Amino acid sequence: MKRTAILTFQYYRILLVYNIAFTIVWIAFALYGFGELNLIILLWAKISGFISAAVLQGYSAKESYFYFRNAGYRMRRIVLQAFLTDIINFVFAYLLISLIIYAIAHIKS
Residue 73 binding another protein, by CB under 8 A? yes
Q: Which of 74, 88, 93, 100 binds another protein (CB under 8 A)?
A: 74
**Cα–Cα dist 32/38, whole Å:** 13
Residue 63 binding another protein, by CB under 8 A? yes
Binding to another protein (CB under 8 A) within 3-62 occurs at: 3, 6-7, 10, 13-14, 61
The H helix count followed by the E strand count for the chain is 4, 0
Residue 71 binding another protein, by CB under 8 A? yes
Least distance CB 60 / another protein (angstroms)? 11
- Cβ-count burial 70-84 (b if 16+ within 10 Å, e if not): eeebebeebbebbbe
Residue 64 binding another protein, by CB under 8 A? yes
Number of residues that bind another protein (CB under 8 A): 18
**Cα–Cα dist 15/52, whole Å:** 10
Task: Check residue 74 and give left, alpha or beta (phi > 0: left; psi -120 to 50: alpha).
Answer: beta
Q: Which residues bind another protein (CB under 8 A)?
A: 3, 6-7, 10, 13-14, 61, 63-67, 69-74
